[in-house]
Amino acid sequence: MTYQLYIGDRTFSSWSLRGWLMLKNFGLPFQTNMVGLYAGTMKEDLAHLAPAQTVPVLQTFDGQVLTDSLAIAETLVETHPAIGFYPPDPPARALARSIVAEMHSGFFALRDACPMMIRFRWKGFAPTQAVLNDLARIEQLWGLARARHGGDGPWLFGAYSLADVFYAPVAMRITAYDLPVSAASRAYVAAHLAEPAFLTWRKAALEEAHNPWPYPLDLPQIPWPGDTH
């Protein structure tokens, strides 16, 4: 039995990345289906999956349709209780669920000013105070998770969890716009950039073509970390 996952353009679709990582990194069988998010065909591509209107969308083994990344995550937790989507320790689990929900429902200044983009980096981007405020809150949450439950692992709760899935696109935004964060946060971002599933995702993203570019900025472009051009 195989899940059917519907995603948008890998270069830009932060929520699609979350949906894909929560299946890929926890070893669930799935097939990826591309939706024309920026090609303008998303409505037609999702027409058979009502009430879906956005990506990601997950169709389960028995045909149920989940149209939101948090709904997908919580359904996977229920369906596969033996998989460690969240930390097993109750206080850690409560904090992980809380910061996942806060990511899902907040940080709109960061999202609006810094759309996810994983092709290259912008040089000289100047974040607004509202973006800096979002970053400060994110770093507070990351620091709290690491201090209480991080142990020796590179992830927020030591082992990889849904908390890392949901904050992966934040790591990409920090990278693409060279946003000011602490050394500890940069180490966490680096773990995301080197994570094998993300490298697979980005390799596919580099094969995409976008003309016109959805989110242009009048700034110089510099290579993504690890790229040579």
Peptide bond connecting 214 to the previous residue in cis, omega within 30 degrees of 0: no
Checking if the pLDDT of 119 tops 90, the result is: yes
pTM score of the predicted model: 0.97
Give tens-digit pLDDT for 188-226.
999 999 999 999 999 999 999 999 999 999 999 999 999
Which domains are present in the chain?
3-79 (3.40.30.10), 90-202 (1.20.1050.10)
Tell me the pLDDT band of 228, cut-offs 50, 70 and 90.
confident
State mean pLDDT over 159-168: 98
Which burial class, exposed, middle or buried, applies to 229 when counting CB atoms under 10 A from its CB (0-12, 13-18, 19+)?
A: exposed
Torsion of CA 61, 65, 67, 68, to 10 degrees: -40
